[in-house]
Amino acid sequence: MYKIVKAEELTTNIFLMEVEAARIAKSCQPGQFIIARMDEDGERIPLTICDYNREKGTITIVFQIVGASTQDMASLKAGDSFRDFVGPLGCPSEFVSEDLEALKEKKMLFVAGGVGTAPVYPQVKWLHEHGIDADVIVGAKTKDLLILEKEMEAVAGNLYVTTDDGSYGRSGMVTQTIKDLVAEGKHYDTCVAIGPMIMMKFVCLMTKELNIPTIVSLNPIMVDGTGMCGACRVSVGGKVKFACVDGPEFDGHQVNFDEAMQRQQIYKTAEGRAFLKAKEGNTHHGGCGNCR
């Protein structure tokens, strides 16, 4: 069992939990994720790690209520436990294994959309701890939906907050701020964008135009999280990849976002899953959605 030591609602429908998981906390890196299960019959819920404390042996996760399982999960309090908490899964962010001196020469821009701010945080924090201050754009629909602003401010070089409705910070979507910063003379060698799929698609269209290599973190539907079921299949550079083992981070300019978004929708129904099974064959084995 994995005890929850802290549980709080950050804003409407978005929750933060700190969970005792010493083995994961000991070895996890920015970019990796965990799969949580509340009880033996519970759905497996993949969540990118938002923070880790190696001394305390805890992992912090942030999630949004999107269905019955996350609704149930939101009712858990400090002192309650998860039945399973598996990880660290997926590959760490590439920069973690880059030469530090070369990394210090790079100007990095992070673009975080909504709940995607949570997975961006450990990356920016890691860089800060290694003497690198990256620029960060955080976008939210409106002021009340903004999360982790203070935490991000403490580790970012420059933090640019945007709200779609102009209720706080800059007005408009994150893409507008990328355009404005570059027009103001900012230069970026690389961009990391994490948020809703549609945001990542449009950020990539813009950074392609601006010639800024861009990494995205994909969160398609996952079942086993170990490359067995095929649920998280995506196309990157025309090749089949599985986000759980080949990612979750990929070259954003190579990702087929339209296919990924369409597949997310199709996967939701039994008929859709049968269709994918017929279309994708063996790479879809086991990922029928009936796996508990």
Do 259 and 208 meet the contact criterion of CB atoms below 8 Å apart?
A: no
How far is it, in rounded angstroms, from Cα 199 to Cα 40?
35
Among 65, 74, 228, 266, binds ligand FES (CB under 6 A): 228
112 has which bridge partners? Answer: 138, 194
How far is it, in rounded angstroms, from Cα 99 to Cα 267?
40
Give the shortest CB-1-to-ligand NAD separation in angstroms: 26
How far is it, in rounded angstroms, from Cα 52 to Cα 143?
27
Give the shortest CB-78-to-ligand NAD separation in angstroms: 23
Q: Please tell me whether residue 228 adopts helix, strand or coil conformation.
A: coil
How far is it, in rounded angstroms, from Cα 125 to Cα 146?
18
Give the shortest CB-108-to-ligand NAD separation in angstroms: 18
The binding track of 238-257 with respect to ligand FES, each residue x by CB under 6 A or -, is ----x-x-------------
Give the shortest CB-228-to-ligand NAD separation in angstroms: 21
Provide the token pair at 171.
């007005």
In sign, the C-alpha dihedral spanning 284, 289, 291, 292 is positive
The contact set with ligand NAD (CB under 6 A) reads 48, 113-116, 119, 139-141, 162, 164, 173-175, 194-196, 198-199, 202, 217, 219
C-alpha distances out from residue 273 to 19, 33, 231, 268, Å = 33, 24, 9, 7
C-alpha distances out from residue 40 to 35, 37, 221, Å = 13, 7, 20
Compare residues 132 and 231 and give the one whose CB is closer to ligand FES: 231
Give the shortest CB-175-to-ligand NAD separation in angstroms: 4
Compare residues 73 and 232 and give the one whose CB is closer to ligand FES: 232
DSSP H/E element including 140: strand 135-140
Q: Which does 61 bind (CB under 5 to 8 A by kind): ligand FES, ligand NAD, none?
A: none
Compare residues 18 and 246 and give the one whose CB is closer to ligand FES: 246
Among 146, 232, 234, 260, binds ligand FES (CB under 6 A): 232
Among 227, 261, 266, 272, binds ligand FES (CB under 6 A): 227
Which position has the token pair 């939701």? Answer: 268
Which part of the chain contacts ligand FES (CB under 6 A), choosing from 181-189, 220-228, 251-259, 268-276?
A: 220-228
Site for ligand FES contains 231 (CB under 6 A): yes
Give the shortest CB-281-to-ligand FES separation in angstroms: 14
Q: How far apart are the first and last CA of the chain?
A: 18
Compare residues 73 and 223 and give the one whose CB is closer to ligand FES: 223
Site for ligand FES contains 223 (CB under 6 A): yes
163 has which bridge partners? Answer: 140, 171
Interface residues with ligand FES (CB under 6 A) are: 222-225, 227-232, 242, 244, 287
